[in-house]
A and B are shown apart, each in its own frame.
Chain A
Amino acid sequence: MQIFAYIVNKDGKADDTALELALAAKKLDSDAQVTAIVAGSGIDNVCQEVSAAYNEIWKIDNAALSYPDGEIMGKILPKLLPDNAVLLLAHEYLAMDMAPGVAIRSDSAYIADITDIEGMDGTTGKFVRQEFSGMVSTHNTCDLSNGAVITVRPGVFASEEKPSVGGSVVDKSGDIEIPETNRKYLETVEAEVGDVDISTSEVLVSVGRGIEEEDNIDMVKDLAEAMGVDYSCSRPIVDAKWMEKSRQVGTSGKTVKPKIYMAMGISGAFQHLGGIKGSPFMIAINKNPKAPIFQVADIGVEGDVLDIIPDLTEKIQEIKG
């Protein structure tokens, strides 16, 4: 099997997922020759960085690729890859832009956001995914015989392992043409800075959909105030405009690294958990005993945050006098 991995790179550095994709490729086929594809402008350092984990590195250096654009790469990759290639990408915002289209344009199979690989049966791969916001998992088969595009959930193949494959860099810059596209990248607008930088908070009281109504948000602010700590939230709270975006924890919001994280009425979708680093001590309160948050929390309470938060606030206020 010929396996390729698309390397996300930014500011002259490979993303953490570069190594994870190499490990995923080995789990799919331990004998596979795995090729990294590094595209961008001025990417020699990135190529060197990933050479430890890959047998070969295809360098595509072109000024037009200085910003990684899914519409452009999505048209380059199907022409660049050999027939029946298996392409791995990290399941994040660039892959969501281009990976399904690459599968269609190269007439290969597609499987998204895999969380594990259980091996091969002939030319069929067996994969684990999650559905319904992580509440259930599924085993899936994917026919790889005519090639495939597979997106891999970031973090699931993370390892402390330091590979030493030492692959060589092959300059493929001359093998591609920059395609015409009807989408033009303009700029990246940086996130607004809020009144509090939750990425430095030591303790976070974080609230999710379980708070039910905007009027109940004050309850959370009161608890945080009583504890003397900061408050934050999950995505639905920002979508509903009940808190500012700068207080959202998750891959599309802030990455936080507190010592204690209280997940109040948060189910624990992977996009949320992806924004919590440094393994904090986690307390989760949720009405649904099957919520995925209980799998990662240290302490769990099956219950309604609307009942527990006011009593908890009162008790803490009592202690502090």
Chain B
Amino acid sequence: MNLTSLTIGRARDGLRRKAFKARELAEAYIKAMAAARPLNAYLVETPDRALEAAAQTDARLQKGEALPLDGVPVAVKDLFCTEGVETTAASKILGGFVPPYESTVTANLWRNGALMLGKTNLDEFAMGSATITGARGPTENPWRRRGDNRPLVPGGSSGGSAAAVAARAALAATGTDTGGSIRQPASFCGIVGLKPTYGRCSRWGIIAFASSLDQAGPMTRDVRDAAIMLQAMAGHDPRDSTSAPVPVPDFEKAVGQSIKGLRIGIPKEYRLDGMPKEIEVLWQRGIDWIKAAGATPVEISLKLTRYALATYYIIAPAEASSNLARYDGVRFGLRVPGETLDAMYENTRGQGFGAEVRRRVLIGTYVLSAGYYDAYYLKAQKIRTLIARDFAEAYRNCDAILTPTAPSAAFAIGEKMDDPIAMYLNDVFTVPVNLAGLPGISVPAGLSQDGLPLGLQVIGKAFDEETVLRVAAVLEDAAKFDATPALATGLA
């Protein structure tokens, strides 16, 4: 049996049946992680830690005291602070930073028995859609176009996590999603990525990009796994003032429940000019599948869809410009000396931040600066109100919304890189969900003409991840997506 081909659900059963040991599962993934090094998915590998945790799992299994995620080898996006393990957000400015604390979400995972394989690559400070802006180089997508061996991007910013899960070099991974950073790479890599409702998972200990948009979520092989992972990750955290004090339902129970009678919104504004035919075809197929499952597609209007990206590219950089002010060479990370305090700041931040981060910090500084605040930032916040209102309006007439996840399949490393705005367009379908604080999932639903995975997105009402998971599981069943990437090292 190839242990790395199992889902969390199956691995859990196998471990409890004692078909194999947690140590064996961990070793298989450690091997796959090593074999996947050419992908540059991991920034840090922590095999010893994984084996140590596996031994504890085995001891618990022996006593019949298994925890919900016992023995599940997980990759962690390097935006989550992990105690004693270098955490850099793929930035030079945090080089060598070893957090003396553990993020709430990862602590929740470990408490539930999961074990850490390592820290995965991302766009620097999660700013990007291709995992190419990190200080330690790009991550490769394990998929290849048919008959073309050029390396492709895994999407981003959680591209390292997506690539690791797709390549079978991690059973599951954590990601964060500010404008699509879980869902878009999940779509590019043929896996499931779930962005929960804002406030569902604690942000405590996650390096902030844009605080009002950031949300952690799972990246997994299937929908059930996403439910299992979210169950462990979620929960109210009194250390995060924006964490929602609401109970965590049994997400796994939602998987497999009928969607008969549900009304599924199909937003007409998502039919973009120039959208590739294959994306439209995929979307239509999704609509047919939910219809076949007894749900009713209804046309809805999300009027401001085309303005969401521009809104996002004011709000996110504004918050980031302030969130990233703490990287100043005084208390942690890189310091580049300077004669005066200001010179030290300018040198440190000038050399410590990469081009994309610099660009966004400057945009953010500008839109908040005297004389421009009202025209840019305040205006964007008002439009954000309207975007959230659009969704609220739509939900009076439907239970969930179905859209494509991204306007294209994965592109090659090097493409779109000289045009920031072309790059930003990757997130056109995902960004509105963050602005409204809603849950969204990407499910692999088919292959492009080039043989690359494409995802469909299900968007839910706030704190209704259960409906999202129900609909996603139906799509998953119908799509029967079973293609594997060319570089699935875990399967080799």
| A and B interact physically | no
A interface residues with partner B (beta carbon < 8 Å) = none
B interface with A by C-beta (< 8 Å):
none
